[in-house]
Amino acid sequence: MADDPFQEKRSRMVAQQLLDRGIRDPKVLRAMAEIPRHLFVPPEEQEAAYGDRPLPIGADQTISQPYIVALMTEQLRLRPETKVLEIGTGSGYQAAVLARLATQVYSVERIPELAAQADRRLESLGIRNVQMRVGDGSQGWPEAAPFDGIIVTACAAELPEPLTQQLADGGRMVIPLGQAQRQTLMLIERRGDTFESHSICGCLFVPMKSG
């Protein structure tokens, strides 16, 4: 974007945090290089927006570190015609990345004020292919299912059955599973009525809350 004072920091983020750590999908790298991450954090955090760490966004929630956003997105293997569900809108940054890669993004956020802020940010950036709702993310978005990809940005103690049932045959879900300080980022692939699980890496996310 023209006259963007954060362009150099964003380019350095992509080179040092993503490419150097194995992110290879050119579409993911391009989206991360173009989306102004600093606009998705509070003003007092903008100078730190491209650092290699999560940042607070209010309501005891965080925006994930850039590498984790890229890693989770890359694992979905999204194609332009795909439809994706995000659980935990947060700042809206992950949704903005997904919106560059998929036809339609459905995003569920539990906290109304975060959902409203994210909606305004996406609108201001001209991102029109994200639908949002406030609700219990563990229940997904059944009327819009099935989804080619599901990305969950809060840790669940166990795999939520409504989400697995909303995953299309051949679809992929990335979700952190575990408890408190013992969490694993998992890839779930659906093959008919069979779900294959693959461990990606250790991670640390805020807990998923239901109800």
CA angle 45, 88, 15 (to 5 degrees): 50
The residues facing 84 across adjacent strands are 105, 149
Tokens of 122: 């996406």
CA atoms within 13 A on the CB side of 62: 16
β-strands 167-179, 147-152: how paired? parallel
Which residue carries 């659906």 as its tokens? 190
Angle (CA) 100-89-73 rounded to 5° is: 45
As beta bridge partners, residue 197 has 188
Q: Which residues are known to be catalytic?
A: 64
- The closest alpha carbon to 154, from 90, 59, 83, 71, belongs to 90
Do residues 151 and 94 lie in contact, with contact meaning Cβ atoms separated by under 8 Å? yes
Burial degree of 32 (CB within 10 A; 0-12, 13-18, 19+): buried
